[in-house]
Amino acid sequence: MRGMRSDFNPNQKIDWSVVRQVVPYIFEFRSRVALALACLVAAKLASIGMPFVLKQIVDNLNGQFDAQASSGLDSKTAMALSVPIALLIAYGFIRLANSVLGEIRDTLFGRVTERAMRRIGLRVFEHLHQLDLAFHLNRRTGGLSRDIERGVSGINFLMRFLVFNIVPTFLELFLVMGILWQQYSISFALIVLASVVAYVWYSKSITDWRTKFIREANEADNTSTTRAVDSLLNFETVKYFTNEQFEANRYDGALASWEQAKRKNRLSLFALNAGQALIIALSMTAMLSLAAYEVTQQRMTIGDFVLVNAFMMQIFMPLNFLGFVYREIKSSLTNIERMFDLLKVESSVPDKSNADLNLITGRIHFEHVDFAYDAQRPILKSLSIEIGPGERIAIVGRSGSGKSTIARLLFRFYDVSSGSIRIDEQDIRDVSLHSLRDAIGVVPQDTVLFNDSLLENVRYGCPTATDQEVEKAIELAHLKEFVTSLPSGLQTHVGERGLKL
């Protein structure tokens, strides 16, 4: 796989295998995960217990009001005497426990997700630095950064909601169906089952259809971001050619594609939400109608009616949220898939990390080297050069003749098509990239500076150097007078690519 998504297909199916790549990061903190799951179970038991306490409160109040009507007691006195204070306190305590347990669960699991985001983000970053120059010459920096940003955020959402929402919601649904069947009749359980099946089927079908619009929106977002970053990085060139309007038109064209993709996404979301609302309304109506009929037949109490209503609300609140979670998980998987695609990209310059270069004299030998960036256009043909220790050579030639290519091949940004390059009779393809590049000092034709201070840019060649060593290097490079003339001296910030200088 040589590049990023040149074969972009909005209808491509979600690769659920990415979940398997994320799961191992969850178990780095096993004790935290276990405690979080314990809080989850306790919170679910508390939420199921609340409707039963509410039923007892309503039935007690209803019974006392009936007694009041027959005895003629003052209503306030009867209320004070009859309200089941203990049940009200219990109801408040259970509701508080449900909320607190949920907060503890999220706090415990927060570190798990944050560490996973850190680990995976670092893994992708390190992998990008291991890829060959060909990949980085073809990359789209703005789109690439957006893929990583959305992918890491998607991991956070996926880990939190897959573990703490989807599985617990279905567990609660089955418990509620069992309770309704055992306490009342199978009709109540069947209404819940039919509602859940219809809701899940509809949500999945429409969300799968919507995924292509999410992909289109992401692709358009990447394109517009890439265009903006590319234009801003080349700010001076845009000004030299007075092409501000040209750049604005190109950026607006990319934004127009994004706008169209987001409109499709929004309309498809409306279809999903409307259908889900209809299923919920029909289910609630059917369940409460059946409960009301049972009350009129005196097979259920008013408290039972309230219990059924509370259970239906408890079911559809997480179920409605489940629709959102499923949509977002699909979206997150799409984003994670894009990020993990980066990890599938393989370098065309393989590394032998366990074989270091044994530098003796530094003799370099190019032997019958052939190389071409494109098979249709050879650059080097049977090039043979031998450079002895301490020897200085100059390579001259017209633009495009391969001067820079020779340096790139020595540094193994690319591998030769045929022939070999040896240092002290060691083929550079048989040694680690780190040991090879660590032995070569390079002064590039175009010196690129990081958006940091002059001090840190000079120190970049040796990150462990002291300030005194940096100042010595500046003096040896005959830059001391120039640095001293700057108002902030070594603390001068150079801007992106050193444009401030």
One-letter amino acid for residue 373 of the chain: Y
- Final residue of a domain: which of 344, 378, 408? 344
Contacts of 487 (CB under 8 A, 6+ apart): none
Residues 401 and 257 in one domain: no
By C-alpha distance, which of 46, 25, 166 is closest to 102? 46
In a domain, residue 422? The reply is: yes
Residues 197 and 89 in one domain: yes
Q: Other CB atoms closer than 10 Å to residue 177's CB: what's the count?
A: 20
Give the chain's domain count. 3
Residues 209 and 146 in one domain: yes
**Distance between CA atoms of 113 and 108, rounded to whole angstroms?**
10
In a domain, residue 358? The reply is: no
Residues 390 and 246 in one domain: no
Q: Other CB atoms closer than 10 Å to residue 188's CB: what's the count?
A: 23
Residues 462 and 327 in one domain: no
Q: What is the pTM of this model?
A: 0.57
Q: Other CB atoms closer than 10 Å to residue 479's CB: what's the count?
A: 13
Q: Are 306 and 55 in contact (CB under 8 A)?
A: yes
- Final residue of a domain: which of 438, 468, 488? 438
User: In this predicted structure, what is the pLDDT of residue 80?
Assistant: 47
- Final residue of a domain: which of 438, 473, 490? 438
Residues 434 and 461 in one domain: no
Contacts of 201 (CB under 8 A, 6+ apart): none
In a domain, residue 104? The reply is: yes
Instruction: Give the domain CATH number at 338.
Output: 1.20.1560.10
Residues 376 and 260 in one domain: no
| Residue 286: half-sphere exposure toward Cβ, Cα within 13 Å | 15
One-letter amino acid for residue 357 of the chain: L
DSSP state for residue 473 in the 8-state scheme = H
Instruction: Give the domain CATH number at 411.
Output: 3.40.50.300
What tokens were used for 498? 């050193």
Residues 298 and 176 in one domain: yes
In a domain, residue 235? The reply is: yes
Residue by residue, pLDDT tens for the chain (501 residues) are 344 444 444 455 556 666 777 777 777 777 777 888 888 778 877 777 777 777 777 767 666 555 555 555 455 544 544 456 777 777 788 888 878 887 888 787 777 777 878 888 888 888 887 777 777 766 666 667 777 777 777 777 777 776 666 767 777 777 878 888 877 888 888 888 888 888 888 888 887 787 777 778 878 887 888 888 888 878 777 877 788 888 888 888 888 888 888 888 888 888 888 888 888 888 888 888 888 888 888 787 787 788 877 777 777 777 666 666 776 777 777 777 777 777 777 777 878 878 888 888 889 999 999 998 877 888 888 889 999 888 888 888 887 788 888 888 998 888 888 999 999 989 999 898 888 888 888 877 776 777 788 888 888 778 888 888 888 888 888 888 888 888 888 888 877 666 666
User: In this predicted structure, what is the pLDDT of residue 5?
Assistant: 44
In a domain, residue 356? The reply is: no
In a domain, residue 399? The reply is: yes
Cα dihedral sign for 51, 57, 61, 64?
positive
Residues 426 and 463 in one domain: no
Residues 398 and 300 in one domain: no
Residues 238 and 373 in one domain: no
**Distance between CA atoms of 217 and 205, rounded to whole angstroms?**
20
Q: Other CB atoms closer than 10 Å to residue 340's CB: what's the count?
A: 21
DSSP state for residue 13 in the 8-state scheme = P
∠ CA(452), CA(457), CA(460), 5° rounding? 125
Supply the range of the domain harboring residue 233. 18-344
The backbone torsions φ and ψ at residue 370, rounded to the nearest 5 degrees and listed phi first, read -115, 140
In a domain, residue 325? The reply is: yes
In a domain, residue 369? The reply is: yes
DSSP state for residue 381 in the 8-state scheme = E
Residues 275 and 189 in one domain: yes
